Structure 1
Amino acid sequence: MIKRFILGILTLGTTTIVAQRNSASPYSYFGIGENFDQLTVEQSSMGGIGVAMKDTYHLNFTNPAANADLRVTTYAIGGSLSFLTLKESNGSSSGKSTNLRYIALGLPLGKKMGLTVGLQPFSSVGYGLLNSTYSGDDLLEISRFTGSGGTNRLYAGFGAYLFKGFSVGAEASFIFGNIENNIFNQKNNVSLGTKYEEELNIRGGQFKFGAQYETELKNKLKFNTGATVVLESDLSATGSERLYSLTLSNTGIEQGRDTLYTRNISGNITMPYKAAFGVGLGKTDKWYVGINQEFRKAITTSNGINTATNGYQYESGRKLSMGGYYIPKINSISSYWDRVTYRAGVRFEKLGVLVDGLGTGQNLTSIDDFGINIGIGLPLPKLLSNVNLGFEYGQRGTINNNLVKENYFNMKLSLSLNSLNWFIKRKID
C-alpha cells in the first residue's frame, strides 16, 4: 500500500528532488492534494482577507453573503504562474507550473440580492521524488515516487440582505477529479523492478454559509464584520490499485511483466468542518484594512484511503490573514496612477498535517505555510473594469527532521469585467 511508502516521499538525506512542470508540492500527497485557496487575485493580494469585505464591482469567493452587494454583472477570470524551489538537508531543485485559477460570473438580482456561478481548481497533486540507497559508493536500491491529478469544484452562491447592513448567503459546490499515485522500485542485481499504481476518482459535494454586517461610523468610516461556516462533507474515493513487475529498456521505457495483485478500492475522504471570522474598517473607494481568522478540524479517511500512519497524521488547521487596499483618488482626471488600487497582505497557516521524516514515529513535525502578498488593480477605459496583478512570496515546511522545505513565488493575473448592459435589451430610438 502507498501509505507504507510515504516516508520515502518526504525524507531522507539520500533523496533527490525531481521537479515536474506541473508539480504542486511534495506535501500534495496528503488528503486530496494541495488545496487551492478560494480567493480572487484581488483577495489573494491582500493576504486572503474577504470574510467581512463588501465590494460592489468585484467578486468575493470567501463569503457568499457578499453576493448581495453586486450591482453590476461581473465576469472574472484568473490564472497564476508559480516558481517552486524545494530544499532538503543536502540538495535542492526547482520547477514551475501554470494554473487557471477560476472562471466566474456574478449577477445582481435587484438591489438586495446577487448570484454567482463558477469553476475553480480545488486541489492539485504533483510530486516527483527519487530516493537512492547506498552502501559506501555502491548503489543498492532506487525508489521513484510520483503523483499527479487533482480536483475541481463547480459552484453556485447566493446572497441577500435581510435588513439594512446585514446580509446572509449560501453556496453549494460539486467537487470532482482524479488522482494517481505511483511507486517504482528497483534493487541492484535484481533483473525485475516493481511498480505500484493507485488511481482514485473523487466525487462529492460541499456547502458553505455566511453572514456579513456593516455599520457606518463617523467621518464616513465603515466597520464590517463577517463569518462563514463550511459543513463537513464526505468525498467518495473509488478506483483501483495494482502491483506488477517490469523491466526498463535502455531508453527508460517500461515493459510490464507479471501482475502480482490488482483490486478495486473504495472509501471516503472527509473534508472537515471549517469556520472563519473577519473584521474590517475602511472608506468606500479609498482604503480598507481587514483581518481573517480561520479554523478547521482534521481530515479523516476510511477503508485505507490515505489513512494516517506512524509516518504522518492529520491534525486541525488554522489560518490568519491580514491586509488591505488603498486608492489615492478614484475619480482623478490628471493622473492614471491615482486611480490604481494598491494592495498588500500577509498570511500565516498551519496546513493540518504532521509528518515524521526520521521514520521513528516519534518526531512528528507540523507543516506550516507563510506568505507575503502585494498587488495592483489597473482600471480599464471603462472605469468599472480592471486588470489585477498579484505577487506572492512564501515558504512551506522545514528541512528539520529530514523533511522538505519549499520556497515559492507566485505571479497572478486576473480580469474583472463589469457591465450594466450585458443582460439589458437594447432599444432603438
Structure 2
Amino acid sequence: MRIILSILVLLFSCSRLAAQTNNSPYSILAIGDIEDSYFNRTTGMGNTGIAFRNSRSLISNNPASFSAMDNQFFAGEIGVRGKFVNYTGKPIDPTNNNSSDIAFRRFALGIKLTRHWGTSIGLVPFSSQNYEFNAPQPILGTNGETTNSYSEGFGGVNRVYWANSYELFHHLSLGINSSYLFGSMSQKTILGSPNLPATYVSTNRNLWIYNLYFDYGMQYYTKIGKKWDFSLGATFANRTDLHAENSVTILAIDSSQLKNETINETVFSLPKSYGVGISLTKDKKYTFVADYKFQNWSALNVSGFNYALQNSERASVGFEISNKKNYYNNLYETSFFQFGLYYNKSYLNVYGQSINDVGGTFGIGINAKRSSLSTNIILQYGVKGTTDRNLIKENYFNMTFIFSYRDLWNTRGRRYD
C-alpha cells in the first residue's frame, strides 16, 4: 500500500509545471499551509459552497452535494493553479521578495449510480510545506556568540477521497467523505559559525504522514414560491490523529553521521471541525451563497517557540449569475460569472499575532456548444499575515483553471424506477 501511495505522491508532485519556488514562511509551523481551496465551481465564489448544489459540477465542499448530479451522467474535473506572491516585512530581502509557480491541484471523477445516489473519487492537496531562509541563531553556553542557520522544508499531505451522497424524501441529502491522508515532509537545518568551525552540523528530518479521515455533510433544499430555491448545508469532522514515521539524521561537517534514528509516533492531530452554509437562487439564474467554518485547534493544546495553535474561523460569501438558453423546452447553461469575498482567521498565532488571510475572487465559466467540455477561469487576490512584530506579509495573486467533462454513462434506455 505504501508503495502505491508513494507513486501517487510522486505523480502529484511531478505534475508541477515549474519548479517549486513559491515559498511560504509560515508553512514551517505545525502541518504547514492547510489548503482552503476546493478547485471546483465554488472557487470563483470565494470557495463558498457548503449549501451549494449543482447538477453539472462536482461540488466537494459538502459530501451531501453529489446527489444533485444529473441522472445517468458521469463527470470528470481537473484543476490547475498558478500563484504569484510578493513578500513584505523587515526580515525580507527587497531584492528577492517574489515567488511564483504553477501546479496541478485536483483530479476528480463523479457518477450518478441511481436516481438518489451520487458518488465521487478524487485526489487533492490537504496541506503543503515549502520554505527556505537564513537566520542567525544564538549558541548556548557562549558569551553572546551566534551561528549561521539555514533552514529549508518541502512536501505536504495529500488527500485521496471517496464521497457518497444519498437523497431522502426529495428534500434532504446526507453524505460521507471517506479519505486517506498521506504524504511526506522533509526539513533540513544547517548550523555553522565561521569563528566556531566545530559547530557545523546538518539535521535532516523526514516525515511520512498517514491515516484515515472522515467528514460528514447534510443539505436540506426546497422551493420558496415559484422563483426561489433555498438550500441549507452543514458539515462536521471529528478529531483525527495523524501517524508518522519520523526519520532524523544528524551529520557533522565531515559528513560523519552523529545520529540516525527512525521512530513511529503520532505527530499531529486534526481537531473537530464544523461548517454551515446557505444558498439562495432566483429564477435558476442568480445565486447567493454564504459559509461559516470553525475548527477547534485550541483544544489540542499545541504550542512551540513563540507560536501556538488557535481556533480557526472562515467566513465567505459568493454570488453567481448563470446564463441559460432554452433548447427544445430544456434550459442549457452557456456561461456563468462569479464573485466572492472571504476572511480566514488561520490556526496559527505567532508572537501573539493571528496569521489572517483576506481576499476576493472573480470567476467566469464557459460551456462548449458542441461538446461536453467546460472551462472555468478564476482570478484571486489576497493578503496573508502581517508585518507587526517583525513578521511577514504575503500579497498573493492566483489564477485557477478548472476543466470539466461530462457525458452519459448509460444509453440503453431508462435505468431508474
Which residue matches 2:262?
264
| Structure 2 unmatched runs, 5+ | 1-18, 139-144
Does the residue aligned with 2:30 lie in a helix, a strand or coil? coil
Matches of 1:212 and 1:171 in 2, distance apart?
Answer: 14
Q: How does 1:177-216 map to 2 (within 5 A)?
A: 177-192=183-198, 193-216=200-223
Is the contact between residue 41 and residue 413 of structure 1 (CA under 8 Å) also seen in structure 2?
Answer: no
Matches of 2:309 and 2:220 in 1, distance apart?
Answer: 34
2:119 maps to which of 100, 115, 140:
115
Pair 1:227 & 2:234 matched:
yes
Which residue matches 1:243?
250
1:145, distance to aligned residue in structure 2 (A): 1.2
Which residue matches 1:41?
40
Matches of 1:342 and 1:209 in 2, distance apart?
Answer: 29
Is the contact between residue 76 and residue 405 of structure 2 (CA under 8 Å) also seen in structure 1?
Answer: yes
Is the contact between residue 311 and residue 347 of structure 2 (CA under 8 Å) also seen in structure 1?
Answer: yes
Which residue matches 1:126?
130
1:103 maps to which of 96, 102, 107:
107
Is the contact between residue 40 and residue 61 of structure 1 (CA under 8 Å) also seen in structure 2?
Answer: no
Which residue matches 1:82?
83
- Taking only the aligned residue pairs, the percentage that are identical comes to 27
Does the residue aligned with 1:40 lie in a helix, a strand or coil? coil
Does the residue aligned with 1:110 lie in a helix, a strand or coil? coil
Q: Deviations over 1:371-417 (max 9, x none)?
A: 21001001112475410000110111111001111111111001111
The alpha-carbon distance between structure 1 residues 215 and 301, as it changes in their structure 2 partners (threshold 3 A), is closer
Matches of 1:133 and 1:241 in 2, distance apart?
Answer: 20
Does the residue aligned with 1:381 lie in a helix, a strand or coil? coil
Matches of 1:326 and 1:83 in 2, distance apart?
Answer: 28
Q: TM-score, normalised by structure 1?
A: 0.83
Which residue matches 1:415?
403
Matches of 2:155 and 2:263 in 1, distance apart?
Answer: 18
The alpha-carbon distance between structure 1 residues 124 and 289, as it changes in their structure 2 partners (threshold 3 A), is same
Is the contact between residue 40 and residue 59 of structure 2 (CA under 8 Å) also seen in structure 1?
Answer: no
Which residue matches 1:389?
377
Pair 1:399 & 2:395 matched:
no
Is the contact between residue 217 and residue 235 of structure 2 (CA under 8 Å) also seen in structure 1?
Answer: yes
1:112, distance to aligned residue in structure 2 (A): 1.3
- Range that drifts further, 183-192 or 42-51: 183-192
Does the residue aligned with 1:126 lie in a helix, a strand or coil? strand
1:141, distance to aligned residue in structure 2 (A): 3.8
The residue type equivalent to 1:189 in the other structure is N
Is the contact between residue 39 and residue 400 of structure 2 (CA under 8 Å) also seen in structure 1?
Answer: no
Q: Give the superposed CA RMSD.
A: 2.4
Is the contact between residue 106 and residue 115 of structure 1 (CA under 8 Å) also seen in structure 2?
Answer: yes
Q: Deviations over 1:16-62 (max 9, x none)?
A: xxxx7343411112222211225133211101111101100001111
The alpha-carbon distance between structure 1 residues 160 and 415, as it changes in their structure 2 partners (threshold 3 A), is same
Which residue matches 1:342?
337
Which residue matches 2:13?
none
The alpha-carbon distance between structure 1 residues 205 and 242, as it changes in their structure 2 partners (threshold 3 A), is same
Does the residue aligned with 1:44 lie in a helix, a strand or coil? helix
Pair 1:325 & 2:313 matched:
no
The residue type equivalent to 2:162 in the other structure is A
Matches of 1:299 and 1:413 in 2, distance apart?
Answer: 35
Matches of 2:407 and 2:324 in 1, distance apart?
Answer: 22
Matches of 2:120 and 2:298 in 1, distance apart?
Answer: 28
2:364 maps to which of 376, 386, 390:
376
Matches of 1:65 and 1:239 in 2, distance apart?
Answer: 36
Q: TM-score, normalised by structure 2?
A: 0.85
Matches of 1:90 and 1:198 in 2, distance apart?
Answer: 25
Matches of 2:164 and 2:261 in 1, distance apart?
Answer: 43
1:300, distance to aligned residue in structure 2 (A): 7.3
The residue type equivalent to 2:66 in the other structure is N
The alpha-carbon distance between structure 1 residues 261 and 64, as it changes in their structure 2 partners (threshold 3 A), is same
Matches of 1:166 and 1:125 in 2, distance apart?
Answer: 39
1:132, distance to aligned residue in structure 2 (A): 4.7
1:299, distance to aligned residue in structure 2 (A): 6.8
Matches of 2:25 and 2:396 in 1, distance apart?
Answer: 13
Is the contact between residue 271 and residue 300 of structure 1 (CA under 8 Å) also seen in structure 2?
Answer: no
Matches of 1:284 and 1:28 in 2, distance apart?
Answer: 44
Does the residue aligned with 1:339 lie in a helix, a strand or coil? strand
1:315 maps to which of 303, 310, 313:
310
Is the contact between residue 290 and residue 317 of structure 2 (CA under 8 Å) also seen in structure 1?
Answer: yes
Which residue matches 2:14?
none
Is the contact between residue 23 and residue 128 of structure 1 (CA under 8 Å) also seen in structure 2?
Answer: no
Is the contact between residue 355 and residue 384 of structure 2 (CA under 8 Å) also seen in structure 1?
Answer: yes
1:230, distance to aligned residue in structure 2 (A): 1.3
Which residue matches 2:158?
152
Is the contact between residue 24 and residue 124 of structure 1 (CA under 8 Å) also seen in structure 2?
Answer: no
Does the residue aligned with 1:27 lie in a helix, a strand or coil? helix
Matches of 1:199 and 1:106 in 2, distance apart?
Answer: 35
| Structure 1 unmatched runs, 5+ | 1-19, 247-255, 357-363
Does the residue aligned with 2:304 lie in a helix, a strand or coil? coil
- Range that drifts further, 66-75 or 282-291: 282-291
Matches of 1:262 and 1:133 in 2, distance apart?
Answer: 24
Is the contact between residue 22 and residue 84 of structure 2 (CA under 8 Å) also seen in structure 1?
Answer: no
Which residue matches 1:351?
346
Which residue matches 1:142?
148
Does the residue aligned with 1:55 lie in a helix, a strand or coil? coil
Which residue matches 1:28?
27
